[in-house]
Structure 1
Amino acid sequence: MVKVGLTGGAASGKTTVCRLFMEKGVAVSIADELAREAVSPGSPGFDAVVAWFGDGVVGVDGGLDRPVLRRKLISDPESRRVLESIVQPEVIRLMKVFLEREEASGAVMAVCEVPLLFELNLEAMFDVTLHVGVDRATQCARLMERDGVAEAEAMRLLDLQLPDGDKRDRADLVIENMRGLSELKGAFYKVFEKIVKK
């Protein structure tokens, strides 16, 4: 089975690429969904986050208030490190379970969407690493529109991430996503064929 690690910066188009893989019948694991599972109400992760950040990060629905948490992370690097130490080990464990399950089922390909793939040095988990590339200005505009944040907050979030150029250098394959969906789809199909040939 070919194990694909899909990465890219915030608002680069990773979700759309995941959907394109799924349309091809490939099982996809989404890191953000695993991260939510790792800190779901009642989990040890949830209790650890609330113990560190306080009740102010709990939303009206009883789960974590992610916008409030994100603002804290942007302004406090130590808090970001603490949250990562709580969430990341569980996310990695869940990804490994997903890959093992897909391989046992006879799947020929499985994709894990991992925004921090290179930051966490997880390349060894995958046969192919795939980066969704986008320029910083486009990323910033998409973040502002998607999350309803000001430009300064969007830029601070991008500053926390490994630059696009560094990710490009480390990835086996790159899909460009700077000109819209039709270009993205064309780039995806070419890359998909390369992966299939593996």
Structure 2
Amino acid sequence: MVKVGLTGGAASGKTTVCRLFREKGVAVSIADDLARDAVAPGSPGFEAVVDWFGDGVVGADGCLDRPALRRKLISDPEARRVLESIVQPEVIRLMERFLEQEAATGASMAVCEVPLLFELNLDSMFDITLHVGVDRSTQCARLMARDGVSEAEAMRLLALQLSDGVKRERADLVIENLQGLSELKGAFYKVFEKIVKKCSAHL
């Protein structure tokens, strides 16, 4: 089975690419979903986050208030390191379990969407790394629209991630998302065919 690690900066279009993979019948694991599972109410991860960050990061529904937590991460580099030390080991364990389960079903391909793939040096887990490329100004505008944050907040968040250029250099394949959905789909289908050929070579 070919294991694909999908990454890209915030608001680069990773979610759309995941949907396109699923439309092709490929199983996709989303790191953010796994991270939510790792800090679900009642879990050891949840208790550890609240112990460190305080009750202010708990929403009215009893779950973590992700926007409130994000604001703390932007303003405090140490807070980011603490959160990662709580969440990352469990996310990696869940990703490995997902890949093992897909391999056991006889799948030829499986995708893990990991925003911090290169930041955490997780690329060795995968046969192919795939980056969704977008320029910083477009990312900033999308983040402001999507999350309702200011330009300054959006830029601070983006500054926490490796640049698009660095990720392009490290990725095996790149999907461009600079001009909209039509371009993104066209780039995806070309990349998908390359991965299918690699799957065939694995048989």
Q: Distance in 2 between matches of 1:54 and 1:84?
A: 16
- Residue by residue over 1:18-41, the C-alpha shift from the partner in whole angstroms, topping out at 9 and shown as x without a partner, is 000000000000000000000000
Query: Amino acid of the residue matched to residue 122 of structure 2?
Result: L
- Residue by residue over 1:52-98, the C-alpha shift from the partner in whole angstroms, topping out at 9 and shown as x without a partner, is 00111100000000000000000000011000000001000000000
Q: Distance in 1 between matches of 2:181 and 2:46?
A: 36
Displacement of 1:135: 0.2
Displacement of 1:124: 1.0
Query: Amino acid of the residue matched to residue 73 of structure 1?
Result: L
What's the counterpart of residue 115 of structure 1? 115
Displacement of 1:3: 0.3
- Is 2:155 the counterpart of 1:148? no
Tell me the SS of whatever aligns to 1:94: helix
Give structure 2 stretches of 5+ with no counterpart. Answer: 199-203
Displacement of 1:42: 0.4
- Residue by residue over 1:133-167, the C-alpha shift from the partner in whole angstroms, topping out at 9 and shown as x without a partner, is 00000000000000001100000000000111000
Q: Distance in 2 between matches of 1:81 and 1:121?
A: 15
- Is 2:9 the counterpart of 1:18? no
Query: Amino acid of the residue matched to residue 23 of structure 1?
Result: E
What's the counterpart of residue 201 of structure 2? none
Where in structure 2 are the equivalents of 1:1-198 lying within 5 Å? 1-198=1-198
Tell me the SS of whatever aligns to 1:117: coil
Give the share of equivalent positions with the same residue, in percent. 86
- The TM-score with structure 2 as length reference comes to 0.97
Q: Distance in 1 between matches of 2:49 and 2:196?
A: 40
- The TM-score with structure 1 as length reference comes to 1.00
Q: Distance in 2 between matches of 1:161 and 1:123?
A: 16
Query: Amino acid of the residue matched to residue 57 of structure 1?
Result: V
Query: Amino acid of the residue matched to residue 2 of structure 1?
Result: V
Tell me the SS of whatever aligns to 1:47: helix
Q: Distance in 1 between matches of 2:55 and 2:122?
A: 33
Displacement of 1:116: 0.5
Q: Distance in 1 between matches of 2:196 and 2:102?
A: 16
CA-based RMSD: 0.3
Displacement of 1:127: 0.4
| Residue correspondences, number | 198
Query: Amino acid of the residue matched to residue 170 of structure 1?
Result: R
